[in-house]
């Protein structure tokens, strides 16, 4: 197994020390494994995609605009 060094903020370190019974390296390992699996799935999906990068950027803008409009409506509504 390969070792990895990780930097974390002091506040997070204090919180982790309060719960020293937790195997934090295992928590990190599981989170990294899950993210790597998600990325692997996304790579497989993207490999089959016919979209160009320009298409993706256009869809990204459309989605962001829709989310922003929905958020503004929810904030404006009493």
pLDDT averaged over 10-residue windows placed end to end, the chain, 78 residues: 94 97 97 98 91 93 95 81
Which tokens in the block code for residue 27? 């928590």
Q: pTM, whole model, 2 decimals?
A: 0.63
Q: So what's the pLDDT on residue 78?
A: 63
pLDDT of residue 75: 84
Task: State the pLDDT at residue 66.
Answer: 95
Domain residue ranges in the chain: 8-47, 51-78
Q: Annotate 16-77 with DSSP letters as a single string.
A: HHHTTTS-HHHHHHHHHHHHHHHHHHHHHHHHT----HHHHHHHHHHHHHHHHHHHHHHHH-
């Amino acid at each position: 197994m390969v070792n990895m060094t990780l930097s974390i903020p002091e506040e997070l370190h204090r919180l982790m020390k309060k719960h020293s019974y937790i195997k934090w390296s295992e928590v990190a390992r599981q989170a990294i494994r899950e993210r790597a699996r998600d990325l692997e799935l996304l790579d497989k999906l993207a490999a089959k995609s016919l979209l160009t990068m320009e298409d993706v950027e256009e869809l990204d803008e459309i989605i962001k605009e829709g989310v922003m409009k929905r958020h503004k409506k929810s904030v404006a509504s009493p």
